[in-house]
Structure 1
Amino acid sequence: MIDPQIQKVRLQDLMASLQPLPTPNQTPRNHRQAANSSWPPSQTTDPRKVCVEGERNNHIARLAGKWLHVGNTVEDVITLALAANDNFDPPLDESEVIATCQSIARTHGRNNPIGPSLDDTDPEPLFVFKDFKASRYLFTDPPPRRWLFADVIPCGKVILLVAPGGTGKSMFSIQLGASIATGLPFADVWEVGETGGVLLLLGEDDDEELHRRTFNICNQLAPRQETDAIPRLGENLIIKSMVGEDNLLTTADSQSKEVRQTPLVNRLILAAKQIPNLKLIVIDPASRFRGGDENASQDVTRFVEAVERVAQATGAAVLIIHHANKGSMSSSEPSQSASRGSSALTDGVRLQMNLATLDNNGAKKLGIPEEQRKSHLILSITKTNYSAPQQDIILRRSEGGYLTNAKLTPSKTPTTDAVDASIIQLVQSEAVAGKRYSKTGFANTFGGLNKKLKVGNNKVRDRISVLISSTRLVEENGKLALPKL
C-alpha cells in the first residue's frame, strides 16, 4: 500500500502540473491552436494539453491510466481528470469524465490485482477453503446424470452446433426443440431423456418463415398418429424471431474495448423463468448475440460466460448455433476446429456437434448418387465431456428441409493391416475354389470402395507388392499364391 502522506504530496504535485504553462504572447485558445501539435508544447499524457472533440476521451483515458499506475486512488484520479477537463475546448460533461476514469480503474484493477482498483479497495478472500474440501464428496452418492437426449446431450449444460450456411441449422434446432417439447425421438435417431419447455431465439428467420417451418414439422408428425404430440408441441415450444433486434448478450466498451455482459442477459433469464419446466434454450446464431471480436479468445470467453450464466440461472441446456469456418468446408473429416473464430468457443462448451453436407467421397462410400448427395447431411459429435464417443449419423433432408434418419452408416477405411490380412485370406479362399489371379486381375476383382476390400485398386496393388516383397505372397507363373511351407 502507498503511504497516504506520500500519496497526498504526489496528488498536490499533480494538481500543480495542471496549471497552464506560462507562455509568452499567449493567445486565447481555440480549435486551430489545439489542433497545432506545437501548441501547447506537451506530450500525449500532459495534463495541460488542450484537446478538442475527437481526442478528449482518449486523452482522459491515458491520463487516468498513468495516474493509477503511479498509485493514486480512483477518487484522486477523478479529481485530477476533472481539472484536466477544464482545459478542453469544449470540456466534456463531468459524468462522462467520471465514467471513463471508473472504466480505466476497473481494467487497471484486473490487470494489477494487488494495486488500487475501483472494486477491490478492501479485498476479501476469494473463498473460504473449509467450504470446498473434497470430503464433501466422499460419503454420499453423486446425483445421477440427467440427459436431454439419452446418453448423448446432458441437461443444463452449454452445447454447440457448428455448420456451414445452408445446411439446415435452423430446421435442426426447431426439430430438436420439437422433440423435447413432445417427447418424440429426434429424426428417429435420439431418444428424448426429459420432456419440457423449449425456448428458441432465432436471429436469421422472420416470423413468416418460422410459421412455415413449424407448420411443416406438424405435417410430418401427423402421420405418426401421436394424438397428443401436436398439443404438446403448441404448449411447450416457444419460438421468438429475433430478426432486426439488438440481441447482444455481450458488447465491447466504447472506451476500454473490454467486452462485458449487457442487461439483455438478465432480461433473458427473467423471460426464460416464466416458461414451465424449461429444458432447452437455443441461441441461433452466435454472431447475432455476441459482441467484440470473434477471433479474440477473451471476447469469446466472455460470451461463453454469459451463456453459462443463463444455463445456471434457468437450469436449461443452452444450444449455441454457430457458423463453420471456410477451411472446414473443404475437409472430409469433421473436427472441433470447424468452428469459425477463436477456439475459445469450442473450449468453453461441454459438447460440440458438427453438421455438414456429405462430400463426394462420403457419398461414394455410402453408395449415394451424386444427384442425391446434397440432400444428405452428416451429424458428428466432435467433442463430448460426458458420454462415450458417438457414431456419425447420416440425415436426409426431405420435404421442406425436414430431417430424417437416412439409416446409412459411414464405412470406415480399413487399416493397412486389415487390408493385408483380407488380401491373403482372399488369395487362399479363391485358390481353394480353383480361382487364381494376377496382381492386376485381383485388384480389379476385389478393389474398389464398394467391393470386398473397401479400398481402391491402386491401394490393393501397392499392398500386394509389399506382401510379395515380404514373402507373405508369391507369384507363380504370374498368378498370386501363398508361399509353400
Structure 2
Amino acid sequence: MSNALLNHLDDDARAAGCLQPSLSLPGRLIGELTIPDPDPDELIRNRLISRGGGTLLVSSTEAGKSSLAMQVSICWTAGVACFGLEPVGPLPIWVIQAENDDGDVVEERDGISRGLVRDGLLTQEQVAFVHGRLRIITETTRYGDAFGGWLQEQLSLAQEQGECPHLIVIDPALSFLGGDASLQRDVTHFLRGTLNPILKQFGTACLLVHHTNKSGWQRDRKVDSPPGDKAYLGSGSAEWANWARAVLVIEKTADPGLFILHAAKRGKRLNWQRDGKRTHDRHIAHAGEGEGIYWREPSPEEVNSIPTTKINRSVKVVDLDEVAGMARKPIAKSELQHRLQEKLGVGRDRVRGYVKACIDSGRLAECTVRVNPHFKLVGPLELVEKEARRQEEEYRQRELAV
C-alpha cells in the first residue's frame, strides 16, 4: 500500500473522528502498548510468571506437588533458580496452605533447606534469609467468596506495612474453591471473579497447586503427547488450564522415585535444552532414602535406567490412544464401553478399566448429563462439557413442551 494511500486513509479517519482520543472508549490503541526494559511485572525469567497472572502446578496425589511448591518458594525467595525456573531476583512470597500441620511444614522446610545446601544451590546465609522472609499461612476454614474477602483483607494489611508479596502460593486449589471443580461456572467464578481482581489490585502473582484426576496408568514415555495436552491434566473443568498463563505438570515414570516436570503451557519461554534441542520437560527426582523431603536433579544414568512401560492388563496390551480415538466426538460412556467390548472381545470390567485409564491420563474427559436418568458422556475435553450442557437444555425444552 503506497504512502499516499495511507495518508489519504488517515485523513479520512481523522475527518470521521476515528483517530481522536476518547476517554469513553475501553482499552488502548495497539500502538500504545509497550514492554518496559526491565519489565517491573516480570517475576520468573522470560515472563513465564508476571504480576497479576496465575500459574498452575498439577500432579497426582503423593507425587510431591506441595513439597515442590515449597522448594520453588524457598529458592525464589532467595532469588535462586529451581529446575530452570529463574526469578528476576529475591521474591517476597506467601504460601497459603490447608493440608499440612506445623510438623509437616517443618519437615519440608528442613529437608529442602538441607538438600539445597548439600547440593551447593544455597548457602547457610541464604537459608537464614529465606527463613526470615518466606511467610507460611495455614487457612482451613474459608473458601469461595469468604476466602477471597479474607485474602483481600490480608493483602491490604500487608500493603499498608510495605510487606505485600509478589507471589502467593495457594495449596491446594480445591480447599479454597468452594464449588464443583468440574463445573466451569464454579471454577470461573473462583479464578476470574474472585482471584483475578485481587491479583490485579495488589500486583501479585499466584501459583495454584492442583490435583490431577485419580491416578491411573501412565502414558508410554516413548509415545509422548504434545506439551499443550498436558496442560489439561488437572482435575475438573478445562477452565483451570484456560485461566492459567503457565502450567507445570509433574508426571510419574515407571521408577517410583523419578518424575517428569512438564512446562505444559508457555514452556517455550524457558528455553530448556536436551541434547542440543529445545524441550518442554525435564526429569526431577525425590531425595534418596534417609535424606528427607527434597527434590533433586537425577543423574543421566538414573534417567537412562527408567523402564519403558506399556499399558498392560494381564495378557492384553491396549493402545489407550486408540481407545480414546473411538470417542473423538462425545459419546455415552456406556456406549463406548459396549463398542470396546465388541471390538476387543474382552470382559466388561476390563473395558471399564481401559476407559478409566483414558480419563485418568487425560486422553478423555468425563461429564455427567443431568437429565432423568443421569448418564455420563466421555470425549475430548474441549467438547464433552459443551455437549453435556446442550443435551440438558434439549431435555429441559422437551419437558416444558409436554
Report the count of equivalent residues: 259
Asked whether the 8 Å contact 1:202–1:284 carries over to 2, the reply is: yes
Q: Indicate yes or no: 2:236 matched with 1:341.
A: yes
Letter of the 1:207 counterpart: D
Q: Indicate yes or no: 2:183 matched with 1:286.
A: no
Asked whether the 8 Å contact 1:379–1:392 carries over to 2, the reply is: yes
1:276 to 150, 163, 167: 163
- The structural deviation recorded for 1:328 is 6.8
What's 1:148 paired with?
43
Asked whether the 8 Å contact 1:304–1:349 carries over to 2, the reply is: no
Summarize the alignment of residues 58-457 of structure 1 with structure 2, pairs less than 5 Å apart: 129-130=24-25, 132-134=27-29, 137-138=30-31, 141-144=34-37, 145=39, 146-151=41-46, 153-156=48-51, 157-187=53-83, 189-223=84-118, 224=120, 226-242=123-139, 245-250=140-145, 262-273=148-159, 274=161, 276=163, 278-305=165-192, 306-326=194-214, 330-332=218-220, 333=225, 335-358=230-253, 360=254, 373-384=255-266, 387=269, 390-398=279-287, 399-408=291-300
Distance 1:278 1:355 in 2: 25
- Provide Cα deviations, 1:247-303, integer angstroms capped at 9, x if missing partner: 30337xxxxxxxxx7532422433553563622110000110001221110110011
Asked whether the 8 Å contact 2:112–2:295 carries over to 1, the reply is: no
Distance 2:26 2:239 in 1: 30
Asked whether the 8 Å contact 1:377–1:395 carries over to 2, the reply is: yes
- The structural deviation recorded for 1:342 is 0.7
Instruction: State, as a whole percentage, how many aligned pairs show the same letter.
Output: 20
Letter of the 1:132 counterpart: G
Secondary structure at the counterpart of residue 325 of structure 1: coil
The alpha-carbon distance between structure 1 residues 272 and 397, as it changes in their structure 2 partners (threshold 3 A), is: farther
Secondary structure at the counterpart of residue 311 of structure 1: helix
- The structural deviation recorded for 1:352 is 0.8
Asked whether the 8 Å contact 1:199–1:272 carries over to 2, the reply is: no
- Provide Cα deviations, 1:316-364, integer angstroms capped at 9, x if missing partner: 2100100001377533446122110111111111111111221x3xxxx
Distance 2:144 2:67 in 1: 23
The CA RMSD over aligned residues, in Å, is 2.9
Asked whether the 8 Å contact 1:248–1:264 carries over to 2, the reply is: no
- The structural deviation recorded for 1:207 is 0.9
Letter of the 1:178 counterpart: I
Secondary structure at the counterpart of residue 188 of structure 2: helix
Larger Rg: 1
Secondary structure at the counterpart of residue 81 of structure 2: coil
- Provide Cα deviations, 1:117-170, integer angstroms capped at 9, x if missing partner: xxxxxxxxxx95445341xx5257432445433236322111101110001111
What's 2:373 paired with?
none
- The structural deviation recorded for 1:385 is 8.5
- Provide Cα deviations, 1:100-123, integer angstroms capped at 9, x if missing partner: xxxxxxxxxxxxxxxxxxxxxxxx
Asked whether the 8 Å contact 2:48–2:270 carries over to 1, the reply is: no
Letter of the 1:294 counterpart: A
Q: Give unpaired runs (5+ residues) of structure 2.
A: 1-21, 272-278, 309-402
Q: Give unpaired runs (5+ residues) of structure 1.
A: 1-126, 252-260, 361-372, 414-485
Asked whether the 8 Å contact 1:201–1:281 carries over to 2, the reply is: yes
Distance 1:391 1:326 in 2: 24
Letter of the 2:112 counterpart: I
Letter of the 1:142 counterpart: I
Letter of the 1:353 counterpart: L
Distance 1:383 1:374 in 2: 25
- Provide Cα deviations, 1:175-211, integer angstroms capped at 9, x if missing partner: 1110111122214x33332312110011111111101
Distance 1:271 1:248 in 2: 20
**TM-score, length-scaled by structure 2:** 0.58
Distance 1:313 1:139 in 2: 22
Secondary structure at the counterpart of residue 132 of structure 2: helix
